[in-house]
Each structure stands twice: as C-alpha cells, then as structure tokens.
Structure 1
Amino acid sequence: MKTFENNQVENWIQENHAAVTAEDKMVDDVRLFANEWEIVEQEKMAAEDDLHNPVYAGQSDRIKRLKKKKIWKFIAPLYRLYANVKVRIILICKTSKKEVIGSIVRKMKNKLLSKIMIKRRNKRFIAKITLSKEQLEEQRNTKFSKDVKFSIVVPLYNTPEQFLRDMIGSVQAQTYGNWELCLADGSDAEHAEVGRICGEYAAKDSRIVYRKLEKNEGISENTNECIRMSTGNYIALFDHDDMLHPAALFRCMQEIEKNDAEFIYTDEMTFEKDSIQNIVTLHFKPAFSPQNLNGVNYICHLSVFKKSLLEKTGLYDNHYDGSQDHDMILKLTTVAKHVSHIPEVLYFWRVHPQSVSMNINAKTYAIDAGRNAVKDNEARLGRKTEVFSSCICATHYRLEYELQENPLVSIFVVNNGSGKGLARLVDSIVKRTEYDNYEICIADFGKSSRETQQFLALAEQEPFIQVRRFEEDVTPAAACNQMAESVRGEYLVFLEADMEILDSRWLNRLLMYTMQDDIAVTGSRIIDPGKFVQEAGYIIGIGADGIAHPVEHGNTFSAPGYIGRMYYAHNVSAVSMWGMMVEKKAFLENGGFNNKLQGVYYLGIDYSLRQRKAGKQVVLEPYIINETHELRLTKLDENRVREKDAQEMKTMWSTVLAQGDPYYNKNFAKDGSFTYDMNS
C-alpha cells in the first residue's frame, strides 16, 4: 500500500476530520461479504495470506494455533459449519433497528399475500404456456428447410415409474417429430421394472432406443453411453425425472433455422407433487452471459447443442460428476459459434427430496466438481484463477484471477464538492488499496471552496497525485477525455469526490476482468452510509426516464439479488461511470466519453452501450463495494442538464432501448424487480 510522503497532507486530513481508518465496521462487513469460508491447512499458507482468506480474519490467536495441530482435522468440519452459520447471521443482523423492523413488517405482509398471489400467478402462467389444439396442429404441420434430428439423451437410474412415464410421454408429445429418445439404463437389479417399462414404449415407438448397461458407471459415463447411441445431429440433455413442454423441440428448431444456433438454452420452472400445476419457481434467464455462467450454472435446462461440437470438447468427464452439466456447458458455449437463448419456459424440472434443486446436500460432491469445472475451463482459456463458494450458496462462485501483469492505473477523481469529502476519498484510496501501482488524477472545476483549494495545493505535492484545473463551463466528459490523453496509466478508473473506498482489493478485482480481451468495461457497486445499494449496473429500456433503471437500488448490500447474482460477477448492459474501469487505449480509440452529454449520469451508460455494440462485454463485479456520502455531480444532473441528456440518449439509442435489455428477461415486470409480469 502507498503512504503519504508529505506529512502536511496527512495532518490536514486529520485536522479537518476527513481521515478514515484502515479498517472500520463497514470495511469488515464488506470483507465478510466476500468471504469464501474455505478451510485451508495453515502449513500451506504464508502468514500474510491470512489477509486474503477472510475465514482467518478476526480470529483469535488461539484458533490460529489450533489449526496447526493434528486435532484440527477432526475439528475442521464442525468449524466450517459454524463459520457458514456465522457469516449468514452477521450479514443479516448487521443492520439498524429501523431496517430490522422494516424487514419484519415486509415479511409479514409478504407472507399474507404470497399464497394468494402465487396461486393467481401460477394459474395465469400455466394458461399462458398451454397451447391450443390449433397451435399444436400448426406446429406439427410446419415444414423446415433444414434437416435436423434431435437425439434426446437420458441416463436412467432407478427411475420411479411415474417419473419415467411422465418423462417419456412428454417427449412423445413433442410437436416437432424428428427426434429419437436415447435411454441408457444403469439401474440396479432391484429396479428391473425400469427396463420393462422402457421396452414397452420402445416396442410401440421406433424413435425410442433403450440399452441396459452392464453396470452403473456414474452420471457422466452413462450420459456418454446415451450419446454413443445417438444418430441425430443435435443433442438435447434431459433428466430422467423431468418433463418437456410440447413445443420445446419445435422452438429449438425455429432458432436453428433462423440463427443457425449451435447451442440453445431455454427458460425453465420447477414443480412438485407430480403436477406442473404445482409451480415452485419460475426461472427466467438472461441472454448468453459468460460471466454469469462462471458464477453459477444458470443455463442448466433445457440445453440443446450441435453434436459436432463434441469433436472439440470431448464427451462428459467423470471427474466433474455432480456438476457434469456445468462443465459440459462451459466447454460447449466456449466453442459454439452462436449461443441462443429462448426466453420461454420449455422445461419442467421436478423437485423431490433426492433432487439437487430441492437439496444440494443430496449431491455434496457437486460443489467441488463445479468449482473445478470453472477453474479448469478458465485455464483452457489461458486464465489462472481460484474459485471459491460464495457465503450464501456453495454452488455460487466467486473468482479470484491471478494478475499476470502489474499495469499502472490512473484513478480519475471528478471534484465539485467539499474539501473534506475529497480528502476522505483520497485518504481511503491510500489507506485501503492493496494494489499500489496507481496514480490519482483530480479534475477540479473551479467551484471548490477555499478549504478544498488548500487540500489540493498540498495533495499535488505528492508524487502520485496530480491536479488538473478546468473552467466551470467544461463538462465532466470533456475533462475526463482531456486527462485520459495525458495520464500515464494503462487503465482508467472514474470516481466522484464524495465516495469512499471500502474494499482493499477493489483495483485487483477491476483489473482481473478489464484486462481480459473480451471485456471492455468493469463496474462496481455503490452503497450509501445506510448500506443500501445506489448503483449495481443498469437495466436498459425501462425506468422513470425509459432509458436505464439502477439494479438493486434501495436493497441492502448483502441482499442476494435474482439467482444470487450479487454474489458473483455477471454481465450487464451498462454500468455507472463511478467505479468503472476501462483500458485507456480502447477508451481513446472509441472517442472517450460522449461530448454530447453535458452531465455525468449517462456517461457510463452510453459508453457501456457503445462497447456492447462493438461486441465487447460489460461486467459488474459485485464484490467491489464502495460508499458514497453524496453524489453531488449526479444530483446536479437531475433537472435541466439531465433532461437534455436524456433526450440525447433517446435519440442515439432509440432502437437499442426499444429492443429491451438482453440480460433482463422479457417475462419480467417492467419495474426492474426481476419478478414475473402478471400482465404479460
């Protein structure tokens, strides 16, 4: 970490009560949020590594000494259980009384309404996805130009009769008829009825192919046997206890015909009590999101892919049993030329005590297998990373990439506030930033107080701090663009003067994504002093302005978000400029920030959209959590300037906004809540 070389700077910060401590309560909470709770043998760790493995942070010396003793291997499982419980309790309980009371009231209200609303939702949803006789007939009579045969592969193991009949019946009900159902049966001798039932169906329908395996080789090898049996040119992955929507293959065929898709996935739902009427969850997914897929297997069901892709990926690898589909999907989507998402529920996932969807402990080995699948796939792409389970779900993963280089980062601070706020930000950067190869570049707009000018005069004496002064009529976009041309850093980060750094690894986390070739922008989260989220990326095409809605706005920083997305890096359409990192070379080549925009609110959003248009990814790294005391510049945009910029955005991006956000499923309500739109 850097230190101030000029004692006068630190003295001024102390005298004006702008100093931060290296660690405080909120910093501890942020570190706890990112906790992998991974028990690591102490002998394998250097002493300084404790700081990077929060499971050790804050522990007594007695616990640390205990980990060095042989008895620790017996105590470790109990401690791990304790640690997981502890982190969840702390994240929930570290809130104000007002938050706790509000949470209780909301829960009581939601509980009273949930049964009525869920029943109403389920009834409407089932009616919506149920096809009429005319629709079914129309699909059956549709002729396609491409000749595609789907091989639906289903490894069987002691499948209950009703599950088996439901599964086979749902395939036979498909409106697209060019399919084969490949059943490889690894059931034991006590479940001979599985073979009897399959034989019964196969005798009547030649498209059903059954093979009894000599022995059960496990989920991966049994699936491979199904694939070896297949003769189709597309493979559909199907579990033995689930069901397909009648139009599942038809819609996949349409996607192949229209977009030449090589990998296709659909939305899905879970149900219980042997009827799809009993909906448990509706899983509406985003468009293909590589970062989401590293964080969790959000694709899952239904997955359909071109069989020839297996020539590049190989068949299933039993080293990943338990998370074998996650491993295979990672491989397939890496080599597929076109990955397509159908935002329709076409897969019905049955939940019961033995299913992973009901209880992850039914397959605890899936946790390590999933982490290894992600780690190994990144290694194949030339990226070295460690993969940790998040503190809310063992199969939601946090990645920590190894930085191959140590580039200089230029941290832009746009200042139009008080000297105290600016000093607090600079102090927090210096005291809380682990990555030390950076410079601070302050843009001052001449509206600063005498107090601020005193601080700036002292600060620019530091060798790693420079101050650029601009006239009042210079826009933030113009100022940042001018500074970008003169700074030495290879990467740029943008901060507002009333922010405060909370995460010591914030620059490491920004760099480990932005340095990847296919990622142009990496954003972070901003919270207020009450721990409520202000910005965590944007959903485009909705919101009060019809342009962008801030994700998770008003929620507590520890809230999981939809599919737990606040606990793993994920793709978004746009991020705020505050806390955003870009590569300087690309920034300048793309013209920097848009000079047509007078304020700051839309600068990051516009830049993100331009990068996505160029085929680059925009990533939100939720583990970077910075605090804002008051976003002064953003507030100035709220009136005339922001209205003018909004009109400019609508003119420039009208087509994109009308198409909606690819990462916000079309089935969601238009309020940004990630809930089913009852009026759709």
Structure 2
Amino acid sequence: IAPNMLFEVAGVLNEKPDTDIIYFDEDKLTADGKTRIEPFFKPEWSPHLLLATNFLMHSIFRRELALQAGAFSAEMDGAQDWDLAFRCVEKTNKIAHIPKILYHWRKVEGSAAGDANAKPWATDAQLRSVSNHLTRQGVRGAQVSQSQFGIIRVQWPHNQPKVSIIIPTKNNAKLLLACLSSIFDKTTYQNYEIILIDNNSTEAAALHYLGLLKRDSRVKIIEYSGQFNYSEANNLGVQQADGDVFVFLNNDTEILDGSWLDDLVGWAVQPHVGVVGAKLIRPDGTIQHAGMVMGLAGHGSHVFDGAPENRHGIFGMAEWYRDYQAVTGACMTVRREVFEALGGFDENYRIGYGDIELCLRAVSANYHVIYTPFARLLHHEGGSRGFFIPPSDVLRASVQMLPWVAANDPYFNLNLSYIKRIPALTQPDEMSKEARIIHIMKQFKLVETDETETLTVLSQKVAGQLTPMSSFGSGEDTPSEARLKIMFVSHDLSLSGAPLVFWLLARYLKSKGYQITLFSPKDGPLRSKYDEIGVDVKIDPAILDYDKLRGDAIAVAQAMQDYEIVVANTILTWTTIHVARALQKPSVWWIHESGRGKDLVASRPEIATAFAAVDAIIFPAQVTASLYTNLIQKDNSFVMPHGLDLDLIKNSIGEAIEKPDKFSVVHVGSIEPRKGQDVLLQAIEDLPPHIQKNLACYFVGRVLDTGFYAKIQKMAQNLNNIHFVGQVPHEQVLAYVQMADLFTLTSRDEVLPITILEAMALGKAILATNVGGIAEVIEHKQNGLLVSSGDYRALASNLARVFDQRAHLSRLGDAARQTFDENLTIDRFGQNITRVIEELDMKH
C-alpha cells in the first residue's frame, strides 16, 4: 500500500463518517518492487462496470458491512473478493472513490497481477459471482459467460418485445443498402420493424431502392420534408413506430455481430436503465465509439476513440460494460416508456448534441446510461450527413451543458486528459474545459474572446431555463395572456430605409401594447425617434462587428434572456438568429438585402445556416425572396411589402420648396452607380431641346461614391436645370417629393425603396425601373410607368410622353395613392407582422 493510503482513507471518513466502502486507483510493481507500471485509473462508483471487472479489488470495507454480507466464501475461491464486493454493494450505496494511486500490486510469478492466465481455475468462480449477484437482485435467467478470457458478458432475459429501428436517410442508396442488408442478413433477433425517415431523397438510385423497400412488410417509409432536423426526424419516427423499444440508428452503420439487437434490448428493458449505447468500429478497425465523457475534447466526446479493440490501458478496456452520462445517437436504444417520460429529443438541436442532451435528461431523471461492448457495428463516420453542425446547436450546447462539462465526469477520472480521446495522463498545461468550449465557439464564429467568465455567468442564468422542444407528445397551442416583451435588433440607427421602417414597426407594435426594446451596435439620428415613442434603446457594439460582419453570441445571449420573442432587421443580424434558436426564443428575421445578401450567404456558411434556425422570415418583395429559395425548406417565409404611416408622412413634410416654372422631376437616392442617376441624365440628354429647356431635375441624396458623383456632374454640365441637392433632412426630402410633377427612381438594383412608397402616399406620378420589388407595387401605365434598368431611351420616351400629356400625371398619381392605401400602410404591415408574432407565441 502507498505510505499515505491510511491518511487519505481517514480524510474521507472524517468528511463522510458513514462511508462503507472506499476504493482508489492502483498500479503494479515489477517483481523486484522497484518500478511502478500499468496504472489503472478508475471512475467514480459505477455499478455496471462491476459486472465486467472487479475494480473494488484492493479496497477498504467497513467491518460490520463485510460481516453482515457474510465475509469471504470458500465456495468462491479464486473470485472471493469479487463475490464479497457484490454482496457488500447490494447492502449499501455509501461508496467513495479516492482518485489517487494508493495500492501497488506486485507482479510476482504465479500472480494474476503478472499474468491473467495464472489462475484459469478462477474463471468459473468469477462467472458464478456475477450470476449469483444478479439472482440476488431478482434477475432470473440471466446467462453469464466469458466471450474471451477476462471479458464477462451478461445476456439478460426478456420477452422479445417488438423493436422499432428508426433510421433517418436521404439519397446515398449505397450506404442505406449496406446498412439494411446487414440488419436483414445478420440479426438473430426477429421481432423488429424498420422505420425509414426519408428526408427529400432525389437521387434515382435512392428512389428506386426506397420503392423496392415499400414491398417489404418489415419496413415503413415516412416522408419527412423540409430542412433536416435530427431530433425532429427521430421524434417523427417514434410517432409512427409500433415497438416497445426504439433503436435510433444512423444509415452509415453496418451490423457486425448478429446478436447486437438481443444485447441492446436486454439492457434497455431493465427498469433502471434509460439509454443504451453500442460499440462502433471504423472501417480501419479502430474504435469510433465506446461511450462518451462529458467535457472530453469539448462538450463531450468518445472515449477510446481511435484505440484498437481488446487493449488494456490506464482506464481499463473498451470491452467492459460501462456507466456513462451519454452515448452517441449513431446507435442508441431507449424503451418506449422512458422516451415518452423524457419527452423525446429536443428539437431545438437540429443536428448535433441532441443525443447527448437526451442522455443527460435521462441521468437527471435517475436512469442509468449504459454502454455495452457486445453490440458491435461498423460506422462510416460522417457518411450520413457529413460533419456539419449549426452554430445555434453549438451555442445552445455551450450554455446548457457547461455545468456538466465544467464538473469532472464521474465516470471518468480527473487524473486523465480531457484533451486526448484515447485515455492518457493529464498534462499540467492542458487547456481548461471551459476554455475548450470557448475555442469551439470561436471556430463557429460565435465569439472573438478567449475569456470564459461571461459564458459561465450566462450558463448559470440561462441553462436551467432551456427546456426541450418536441413535436412528440406536444399539446395544443395556447396564446400567452400578456403582451410579449420583444427584443428588436437593428444593424444601425441611421435614417435610411430599413432602420426607418423598423422604427415604424416598433411604433405600431408599441401602440398595440407590446413591450419593445431596441438593440443596436451603434447610435444614430433615429435614436431620438425611439425616445419619442417611449422605446428603450440599448447600444452595444458587441451586437454586430461591422468589420467581421458578425456579433458576439454570448453578448447577444446575455441581452436576449429577458425577452420572449426576437425581431432582427437585415441579414447582418444573423448571429441574433442563431442565439435565438439556441435559447429557444421565437425569432423573426426581416431580410431586405438582394444581391449583397446573396453574396454573403454564398461566402459565409454561418449566415446561410441561420435560415434553418429562424422561425419566420419576412421579405419585402417576392423578387428578394426568390434569391434565397434554396435556403428556405420549410413554410416559414412571408412576402410583406413595407408599410408607411400616411399621417406621419404628411405631418413630416418640411417647408415647401418653391416650385419652378418648369416641369419638375425629382430623383431621391444616394449618389452611387446602383441608383442610376447617370441613366436619368442620359435620358434627359436624349429629350428634344424644347423639353430639355422646360424641365428641371433635382437629385436628392447623400454622396456615397465620389468618383461616380464626379462623373454625373460632368454629364450635367451639358444640360440645363440640373440640381444636386445633396443630403438633407428627411422632412426636406419629403418637401421635394411634394413639389415634384414626376418622381423618378432609375436604380439598377433595389429591394423595395421607401422613397417609392412615400411618393405613392403623396399621390405622385412615378417613373421607375422595373427592378427588385418596384414592379410588385407599380404596374406599368396603371399606377406608374416602368422601364428596364439602364434603358435611357425608354426612359426618355416616357418622360416626353408625360411632359406632353400632363393629364396622365394626375391619373397615375391617384392610382398610386389608391395602391398605397390598400396595400402599403403601416397598419396593414403591422397587422401582418402581429399575426406572425402571435402564431409563433402560440407555437412556443
């Protein structure tokens, strides 16, 4: 024994005087007693590990307990210590582990320490000790055998319950064929059905194979449309399953041992067992999964990953039964009553971590999570759907699982590395478990900092509030009785179109009783308007880093936790959407961007994946929505043109602009190539001289491109009555529009510009290019005039027509105003948004 063993034992007894059994880590000594080798670092109390190996050998037992248990039995010679351990643990759960090596087992000749085959006659006693223990525990008919020397196997009795093997799949017929063929050809257990959850397969080979499978009475095929969600797909499978036991299986697995299902079912039907995991082997023969350790290599990972089979190391063997806190969902078994009691998989997790989260809920409900090495499968890791994980899954897991990660996993050993998946000694310079989580979040573009305290604080506040969302067994939707607290997130507080309409929406919702708080990364002139309507504004640069085009997820989450729903403005607020998904807050994403937005989602996967995380997407125009069609795979997108407040527009018109004695044309828009001021100048130059002489054109807007501004100034030198007004207050902009005979907008690219809506509200005749959403609110010759982008000749022709036939101006203006009143008011827009918000509130 180690010199300090009794001291350490006394310390445990001083702290917990009622402890009955104390065990500790151990190693071996060479025969000469000089060299310590082969350490064995043990987990905390693991009752099912004791079925596989006597890790309580060389332990401290309370005298009264040992005597009460009957002390050593001569009939169990060769396994008398294991037998005594079983009889003692049947009478107490007051067991303590000291994670220090306090016993050194000398490897002398003829000793089991030196050669496991030294006492072959002990095998029968070992098997009987396990069998007798199970019998005393009320398990009748269990078969205990030794699959190879030293490896104990328990085959549990059961009544052959029906098993539903639930397999999500999409395309890749070769993988699915290999998986199902191995089940059909090798499985000795016969009472099973296969539930295939087909997620929009399109490949001809897959569709052909699925067609063949429809003829097989053992197979049900469930159509599952929309964006893939692992948790939702499996919950859907359960709803269609007839079995009393569920096996959740990846389609990139193949059965290796025919008794795999017998073994999983035997464990799953034990009343105290919640979840059962299998041993997964890579094609190269190394272990891919033999259980999970929370905090290993991040949130939690596969222990023994990459190790060969049948190797004894410092954490024992992967061939032993193990208690764990989690096992992988690539092959996971749960009996129906447990799954229903837990409420199914949490659909807030789309791809990753849902299997871990279900296991942790099972542990919290006092069920055991068991790993069995005798259910062996081949796993073509990543074959099903690759290795992609949505940022929202990473963030939710980081917040929710941090307490589990930060604690030392009881089924591991604190002397072992949390970096290396093949068990090895920890090193002094290893990154902390919390720091590893932050590192992973950085990889997913969720944070920039290396600091862990903010995540810890956030987790402490929020983790307990994150409850599972599941379509499995969900009740009816019920609306909330009180008006919601809504978090508005805007990319800025300028007076440009998107922020201004966002303010109008906030104003409308507040008038209906909603509690609105606006978050923005920087201040701006719109702040005063929010102040006027009593909406609190919080400025936080961490909401959006303009250089990196992303927010800090932890900062956003800290801001979000007190709100019930989130409304985010522009595609730049994508981080907010991922955070809302992680914190299970309903989210509405208002996307205005066209070409720029399309470029962003093409180059930034983290932005593209936000489309699957959001609950509702609002587009101002159908043409904008069509740019993102490939990213929208569920019925949650809506086209809603902006709405403006007519009374506010009229009351905001500044001092009247003196109308010239000429035909006045007003163009409102920032000075940049996108707005096409050069095209309008070309059109004016193409007009007959008498029209040019009697036409005055006003360009209102700030200069964004100085080179382009110089170009159009030079073009204007050859023309009469061209005025560059520049940037003026919004009230003065409206005054120019009010003064105009004709409002023009000759953009090359637009979504649905606010200036068009304002001109319509003021009953102005409009001549514009048919780009973006303009053509969705202006119908040519009905409530305005439209020309193709860049077509200055068509623009000139229409200018000449309205100049010569001015009666058309009034008719077009009246029709534009009617369109505005019917479709483009803030009341109509606000009602549509309110309907979306209330539906999301009921669903959540």
Q: Same fold (TM over 0.5)?
A: yes
Q: Would the aligned equivalents of 1:417 and 1:632 in 2 still touch at CA under 8 Å? A: no
Q: Mark the CA change 1:321 to 1:438 in structure 2 (over 3 Å): closer, same or farther.
A: same
Would the alpha carbon gap of residues 273 and 480 (structure 1) be closer, same or farther in structure 2, given more than 3 Å must change? closer
Q: Distance in 1 between matches of 2:313 and 2:135?
A: 28
Determine whether 1:465 maps to 2:219: yes
What is the percentage of aligned positions where both structures have the same residue?
26
Per the TM alignment, residue 489 of structure 1 is displaced from its structure 2 partner at its CA by 0.3
Following superposition, the deviation at residue 285 of structure 1 comes to: 0.6
Instruction: Identify the residue that residue 113 of structure 2 maps to in structure 1.
Output: 357
How does 1:5-154 map onto structure 2 within 5 Å?
A: none
Per-residue deviation, 1:514: 1.1
Map 1:44-443; keep pairs closer than 5 Å: 243-255=1-13, 257-258=15-16, 260-272=18-30, 275=33, 278-305=35-62, 307-308=64-65, 310-311=67-68, 313-383=69-139, 384-391=141-148, 394-401=149-156, 403-443=157-197
Query: What is the distance in 2 between the residues matched to 1:532 and 1:406?
Result: 32
1:346 Cα offset (Å): 2.0
For 1:499 and 1:246, how far apart are their aligned partners in 2?
49
Q: Is there any run of 5+ residues in structure 2 with no aligned partner, and where?
A: 430-844
- Structure 1 pair 425/269, CA: closer, same or farther in 2 (3 Å)? closer
Matches within 5 A, 1:484-495: 484-495=238-249
Q: Residue by residue, what CA displacement relative to the aligned partner does 1:265-300 show, whole Å, maximum 9, x if unpaired?
A: 11122223565x521232211111122111111221
Cα offset, 1:561, TM superposition: 5.4
Superposition deviation, residue 362 in structure 1: 4.2
Match of 1:23 in 2: none
Q: Deviations over 1:168-201 (max 9, x none)?
A: xxxxxxxxxxxxxxxxxxxxxxxxxxxxxxxxxx
Q: TM-score, normalised by structure 1?
A: 0.59
Is 1:622 the counterpart of 2:373? The answer is yes
Identify if the C-alpha distance between structure 1 residues 529 and 396 changes in structure 2 by more than 3 Å, giving closer, same or farther: closer
- Aligned partners of 1:560 and 1:254: how far apart in 2? 29
Change over 3 Å in CA distance of 1:561–1:635 after alignment to 2: farther
Q: In the alignment, what sits opposite 2:401?
A: 653
Residue type of the alignment partner of 1:322: G
For residues 49-101 of structure 1, give each alpha carbon's deviation from its aligned partner in whole angstroms, at most 9, with x where no partner exists: xxxxxxxxxxxxxxxxxxxxxxxxxxxxxxxxxxxxxxxxxxxxxxxxxxxxx
The separation in 2 between residues aligned to 1:290 and 1:462, in whole angstroms, is 42
Deviation at 1:568, TM superposition (A): 2.7
Indicate if the aligned counterparts of 2:179 and 2:254 stay in contact, CA closer than 8 A: yes
Retained in 2: the 8 A contact 1:256–1:262?
Answer: no
Secondary structure of residue in 1 paired with 2:143: strand
What code does the residue aligned with 1:614 have? A
Partner Cα distance (1:395, 1:426) in 2: 33
Show the counterpart of 1:50. none
Give the 3-state SS of the residue equivalent to 1:370 in structure 2.
helix
3-state SS, counterpart of residue 463 of structure 1: coil
- Does the 8 Å CA contact 2:42/2:315 hold for their aligned counterparts? no
Query: Partner amino acid for 1:532?
Result: T
CA radius of gyration, larger in: 2
- Matched AA of 1:499: T
Distance 1:246 1:557 in 2: 35
Q: Secondary structure at the match of 1:565?
A: coil
Q: Return the letter of the residue paired with 1:648.
A: R
Indicate how the Cα distance of structure 1 residues 317 and 634 shifts in structure 2: closer, same or farther if over 3 A, else same: farther
**Range with greater deviation from structure 2 (355-364 or 317-326):** 355-364
Which range is displaced more, 422-431 or 576-585? 422-431
Q: What TM-score do you get using the length of structure 2 for normalisation? A: 0.48
- 1:498·1:630 contact (CA, 8 Å) conserved in 2? yes
Residue of structure 2 in register with 1:53 after alignment:
none
Cα drift, residue 667 of structure 1: 0.8
Report matched runs for 1:529-678 at 5 Å.
Answer: 529-543=283-297, 546-560=298-312, 562=314, 564-599=316-351, 601-629=352-380, 631-638=382-389, 641=390, 643-670=391-418, 671-678=420-427
1:440 Cα offset (Å):
0.4
Tell whether the 8 Å contact from 2:303 to 2:423 is kept in structure 1 after alignment: no
Q: Call closer, same or farther: CA 1:678–1:314 in 2, change over 3 Å.
A: same
Q: Per the alignment, in what secondary structure is the counterpart of residue 261 of structure 1?
A: coil
Q: CA deviation at 1:442?
A: 0.4
CA RMSD of aligned residues (A): 2.3
Q: Cα distance 1:508–1:285, how it changes in 2: closer, same or farther (>3 A)?
A: same
Would you say the 8 A contact 2:20–2:65 is kept in 1? Answer: no
- Once the two structures are TM-superposed, the CA of residue 630 in structure 1 deviates from its matched residue by 5.1
Does 1:508 find its partner at 2:265? no
Counterpart Cα distance in 2 of 1:404 and 1:332: 27
Say which SS state the counterpart of residue 347 (structure 2) adopts: coil
**Structure 2 equivalent of residue 51 of structure 1:** none
What residue is the counterpart of 1:122 in the other structure?
A: none
> How far apart, CA to CA, are the structure 1 residues paired with 2:267 and 2:22?
26
Amino acid of the residue matched to residue 666 of structure 1? L
CA change 1:561–1:388 in 2 (3 A) is farther
AA paired with 1:581?
A: T
User: Which letter does structure 2 place at the counterpart of 1:602?
Assistant: Y
Paired residues of 1:267 and 1:301 also in contact (CA < 8 A): no
Instruction: Output the CA distance in 1 between the equivalents of 2:52 and 2:309.
Output: 18
Deviation per CA, 1:145-170, whole angstroms, max 9, x where unpaired?
xxxxxxxxxxxxxxxxxxxxxxxxxx
Residue 273 of structure 2 contacts residue 368 of structure 2 at CA under 8 Å; is this kept in 1? yes
Kindly tell me: are residues 417 and 530 of structure 1, through their superposed partners in 2, closer, same or farther at Cα, counting changes over 3 Å? Answer: farther
Measured in 2, the distance between the counterparts of 1:449 and 1:459 equals: 15
Q: Does 1:499 align with 2:234?
A: no
Q: CA 1:636 to 1:283, structure 2 compared with 1: closer, same or farther past 3 Å?
A: closer
Distance 1:560 1:467, change over 3 A: farther
SS at match of 2:225: coil
List runs of 5+ in structure 1 lacking aligned partners.
Answer: 1-242
What is the number of equivalent residue pairs in this alignment? 427
Q: Which amino acid aligns with 2:317?
A: R
1:470 and 1:350 mapped to 2: Cα distance? 61
Shift of 1:494: 1.1
**Residue of structure 1 equivalent to 2:274:** 520
Give a deviation string over 1:600-657, Cα, whole Å, max 9, x none. Answer: x32222212221222221111112221233533452424xx1x431221121121111
Residues 1:270 and 1:498: Cα distance change in structure 2 (over 3 Å): closer
Query: How far is 1:256 from its partner?
Result: 6.0
2:306/2:422 contact within 8 Å kept: no
Deviations 1:651-679 (A, max 9, x none): 11211110122122111122233222353
Give the structure 2 partner of residue 92 of structure 1.
Answer: none
Give 1:348 deviation, angstroms.
Answer: 2.8
Question: RCO higher in 1 or 2 (8 Å CA, sep ≥ 6)?
Answer: 1
Q: Distance in 1 between matches of 2:38 and 2:313?
A: 15
The whole-number CA distance in structure 2 between the counterparts of 1:466 and 1:602 is: 27
Shift of 1:469: 0.7
